[in-house]
């Protein structure tokens, strides 16, 4: 018989959540609206920002690209801050409301900065060498608006998916299946936000008014917040269990303090106070961390409720194993970063390539930023084909419901290698046309549709790697650290963008000249972007080999020692040593 209340959730008044009045699909859909609008704003700004930096703010090509990648990298890095605040202080509901408001402030500031002529340098002819760059004050206002948006994005992304999953009870089979469906369709639905961003919003920016487009982002988020708040009485709220980051540092600190102590031969001699049903099997990797579970004098403190361990001196073996699980994720985490570096090229240099090519269909000119529609289309098509065709055939062939998380990541990395190789060949062709044209011609006589292969290959790769990473980091992490693990996943995007900025700066410094030439020249038609893409192809291949090695290593070896059969140990010591 199913209980009328949800055991680990409360309603907006703090009472046990009534299953019939709270949670389910409707509240989850209200939360999803916030994420769709967030994706609309962030991607609508990011995919077309490089053209604004070059054509309006008159920045060099490499500087404009780094501005975009730094903005996106910061957005995803701040997911860790948002997750920490949600877990430790605010809760997911308040975190979403606060950071959505911050994003509104950011998009409104951006709308104002693009509207006022005082916040832009004077206009000049395209490809002219005498254009005046934006001054420090003008760039300062622009950066303020961008990083307010980044802060809002970080807080939202860290909590939206988690708060959505809170609306379903994992202990109820019907709601558990609904939650699985919610996550399976989560990426599909937010991709429509991206689709609207790279089509409608980019068109408005280029053909009508950037300030109007950014104003629409602000108004859309206001409406999304009102819709979100309308579900306050129907949401289920889960109490915070404390920040996983703090728990990780407690284990590391306790292990360092006891670094000179020897581990006992018997695992059963280590401290454990976790109920047996919730314990994690002991593994033989990273055994140094187990020193945090050695009971020593002074580890327990007496208070009104009795004697309790000081978590900075003594941690349970299950807590140690949870940290081990997180550490085991790191090699796979590191070898997926390069994919997002390649992704960064699709919204920076590829958009700049498109701006120099013929984009007309009849009398209609496609905005350069809208070429990423092929990127989004590739994601949606790949997800649909995988769901309806590949997975059924895969299940029929080997009995498994689909590719494993690591297999999906591997497929995504392979797609990215071919995507960069195609990009290098396409750019070589574009440059040959640029050299054959006399003068500083703004539009080259070559079709922009030549770029479709690179967008499609990398987009298909994202469909596999994003879902694979999300599955990997959520299912391979401890139950109490899933928010932390989701944040760790999002940092691969962050570091991918930052690595792109770093790589662009290094290549610019090594190959550049004083007059703005080199691989990444100030004028893209005078550079060798094809060689930069070729470098990324080589780095991606080397990274793929490293990923395969890490994926093979990932499977942990379980301890052959018998399972622990003890409760909290108060009188044990670490005298028994190997």
DSSP 284: S
Check whether 535 has a pLDDT greater than 90: yes
Look at residue 146 in the predicted model and tell me its pLDDT. Answer: 92
In this chain, the answer to whether the domains covering 1-123+134-241 and 326-554 adopt an identical fold is: yes
> Is the Cβ–Cβ distance between 199 and 48 less than 8 Å?
no
In this predicted model, what pLDDT tens digit does every residue of 25-44 receive, in sequence order?
888 888 888 888 888 888 88
Helices 482-511 and 452-475 meet at what angle, rounded to 10? 140
In this predicted model, what pLDDT tens digit does every residue of 342-389 receive, in sequence order?
998 888 888 888 888 888 888 888 888 788 888 888 888 888 888 788
What would the CATH number be for the domain defined by 326-554?
1.20.1250.20
Q: Which residue has the tokens 């948006």?
A: 149
Mean pLDDT of the chain: 84
> Is the Cβ–Cβ distance between 179 and 165 less than 8 Å?
yes
Quote the CA–CA distance of 61 and 113 in Å, as a whole number: 21
Sorting pLDDT into bands at 50, 70 and 90, what band is 151?
very high
Look at residue 141 in the predicted model and tell me its pLDDT. Answer: 92
Handedness of CA 114, 115, 119, 121 (dihedral sign): positive
Burial 45-64 (b: 16+ CB within 10 A, else e): bbbbbbbbbbbebbbbbbbb
Question: What does the domain layout of the chain look like in residue ranges?
Answer: 1-123+134-241, 244-315, 326-554
Check whether 428 has a pLDDT greater than 90: yes
Of 550, 559, 552, 86, nearest in space to 320 by CA: 559
Check whether 10 has a pLDDT greater than 60: yes
DSSP 558: B
N-to-C CA span, the chain: 51
Quote the CA–CA distance of 521 and 269 in Å, as a whole number: 64
Quote the CA–CA distance of 92 and 83 in Å, as a whole number: 8
> Is the Cβ–Cβ distance between 518 and 527 less than 8 Å?
yes
In this predicted model, what pLDDT tens digit does every residue of 265-297 receive, in sequence order?
888 888 888 887 778 888 888 889 999 999 988
Look at residue 241 in the predicted model and tell me its pLDDT. Answer: 65
Quote the CA–CA distance of 48 and 574 in Å, as a whole number: 61
Check whether 135 has a pLDDT greater than 50: yes
Beta pairing, strands 357-358 & 306-309: unpaired
Look at residue 325 in the predicted model and tell me its pLDDT. Answer: 87
Question: Which residues, in sequence order, are bridge partners of residue 360?
Answer: 365
Q: pLDDT > 90: what percent of the chain?
A: 25
In this predicted model, what pLDDT tens digit does every residue of 478-532 receive, in sequence order?
776 776 777 788 889 999 989 998 998 899 889 877 766 788 887 888 888 899 9
Look at residue 108 in the predicted model and tell me its pLDDT. Answer: 93
The average pLDDT across 416-427 equals 94
The average pLDDT across 311-332 equals 89
Distance of CA 500 to the CA centre of its chain: 15
DSSP 547: H
Q: pLDDT > 70: what percent of the chain?
A: 91
Look at residue 571 in the predicted model and tell me its pLDDT. Answer: 40
Check whether 404 has a pLDDT greater than 70: yes
In this predicted model, what pLDDT tens digit does every residue of 189-226 receive, in sequence order?
777 788 888 888 888 888 888 899 999 999 999 999 99
Q: What is the chain's Cα-based Rg?
A: 26
Beta carbons within 10 angstroms of residue 412's beta carbon: 23
For residue 100, the number of C-alpha atoms closer than 13 Å in the C-beta half-sphere is 29
Beta carbons within 10 angstroms of residue 435's beta carbon: 10
Look at residue 503 in the predicted model and tell me its pLDDT. Answer: 92
Look at residue 125 in the predicted model and tell me its pLDDT. Answer: 67
Length of the chain: 578
Report pTM.
0.78
The average pLDDT across 163-178 equals 78
Check whether 556 has a pLDDT greater than 70: no
Sorting pLDDT into bands at 50, 70 and 90, what band is 563?
very low
Quote the CA–CA distance of 152 and 45 in Å, as a whole number: 14
Quote the CA–CA distance of 53 and 58 in Å, as a whole number: 6
Say which CATH class 1-123+134-241 falls into.
Answer: mainly alpha
The average pLDDT across 293-306 equals 83
Handedness of CA 76, 51, 522, 121 (dihedral sign): negative
Question: Which residues, in sequence order, are bridge partners of residue 303?
Answer: 306
Of 310, 319, 327, nearest in space to 272 by CA: 319
Check whether 23 has a pLDDT greater than 50: yes
In this predicted model, what pLDDT tens digit does every residue of 66-96 receive, in sequence order?
888 899 899 988 888 888 888 778 888 999 9
Helices 210-230 and 25-55 meet at what angle, rounded to 10? 160
Check whether 329 has a pLDDT greater than 50: yes
Look at residue 385 in the predicted model and tell me its pLDDT. Answer: 86
Beta strands in 238-350 (DSSP E): 300-303, 306-309
> Is 470 exposed, middle or buried, given 0-12, 13-18 or 19+ CB atoms closer than 10 A?
buried
Sorting pLDDT into bands at 50, 70 and 90, what band is 331?
very high
């Amino acid at each position: 018989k199913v209980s009328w209340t949800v055991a680990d959730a409360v309603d907006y008044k703090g009472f046990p959540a009534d299953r019939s009045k709270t949670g389910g699909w409707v509240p989850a859909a209200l939360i999803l609206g916030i994420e769709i609008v967030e994706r609309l704003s962030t991607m609508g700004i990011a995919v077309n920002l490089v053209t604004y930096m070059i054509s309006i703010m008159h920045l060099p090509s490499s500087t404009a690209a780094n501005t975009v990648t730094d903005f996106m990298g910061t957005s995803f890095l701040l997911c860790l801050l948002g997750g920490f605040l949600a877990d430790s202080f605010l809760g997911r509901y308040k975190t979403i409301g606060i950071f959505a408001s911050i994003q509104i402030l950011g998009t409104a500031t951006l709308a104002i900065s693009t509207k006022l002529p005082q916040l832009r340098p004077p206009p000049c002819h395209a490809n002219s060498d005498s254009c005046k760059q934006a001054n420090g004050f003008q760039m300062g206002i622009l950066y303020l608006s961008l990083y307010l948006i980044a802060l809002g994005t970080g807080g939202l992304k860290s909590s939206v998916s988690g708060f959505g999953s809170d609306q379903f009870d994992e202990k109820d089979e019907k709601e558990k299946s609904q939650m699985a469906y919610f996550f399976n369709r989560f990426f599909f639905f937010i991709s429509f936000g991206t689709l609207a961003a790279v089509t409608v919003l980019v068109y408005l920016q280029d053909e009508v008014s950037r300030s109007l487009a950014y104003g629409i982002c602000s108004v859309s988020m206001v409406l999304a917040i009102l819709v979100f708040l309308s579900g306050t009485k129907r949401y289920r709220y889960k109490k915070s269990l404390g920040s996983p980051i703090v728990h990780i540092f407690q284990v590391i600190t306790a292990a360092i303090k006891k670094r000179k102590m020897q581990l006992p031969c018997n695992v059963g001699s280590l401290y454990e106070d976790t109920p047996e049903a919730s314990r994690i099997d002991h593994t033989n990797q990273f055994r140094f961390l187990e020193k945090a579970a050695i009971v020593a004098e002074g580890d327990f403190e007496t208070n009104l409720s009795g004697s309790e361990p000081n978590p900075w001196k003594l941690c349970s073996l299950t807590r140690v194993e949870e940290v081990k699980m997180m550490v085991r994720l790191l090699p796979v985490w590191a070898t997926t970063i390069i994919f997002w570096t390649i992704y960064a090229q699709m919204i920076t240099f590829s958009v700049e390539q498109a701006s120099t090519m013929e984009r007309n269909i009849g009398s209609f000119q496609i905005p350069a930023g809208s070429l990423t529609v092929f990127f989004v289309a590739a994601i949606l098509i790949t997800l649909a084909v995988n769901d309806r065709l590949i997975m059924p055939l895969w299940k029929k062939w080997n009995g498994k419901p689909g590719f494993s998380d690591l297999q999906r990541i591997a497929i995504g990395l392979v797609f990215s290698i071919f995507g960069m190789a195609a990009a290098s060949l396409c750019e070589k062709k574009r440059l040959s046309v640029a050299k054959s044209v006399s003068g500083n011609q703004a539009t080259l006589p070559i079709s922009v549709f030549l770029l479709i292969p690179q967008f499609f290959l990398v987009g298909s790769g994202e469909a596999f790697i994003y879902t694979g990473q999300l599955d990997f980091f959520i299912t391979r992490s401890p139950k109490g650290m899933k928010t932390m693990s989701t944040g760790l996943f999002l940092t691969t995007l962050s570091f991918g963008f930052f690595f792109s900025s770093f790589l662009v700066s290094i290549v610019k410094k090594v190959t550049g000249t004083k007059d703005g030439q080199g691989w990444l020249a100030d004028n893209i038609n005078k550079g060798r972007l094809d060689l930069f893409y070729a470098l990324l192809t080589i780095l991606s291949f080397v990274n793929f080999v490293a990923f395969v090695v890490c994926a093979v290593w990932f499977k942990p070896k379980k301890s052959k020692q018998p399972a622990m059969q003890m409760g909290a140990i108060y009188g044990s010591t670490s005298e028994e040593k190997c």
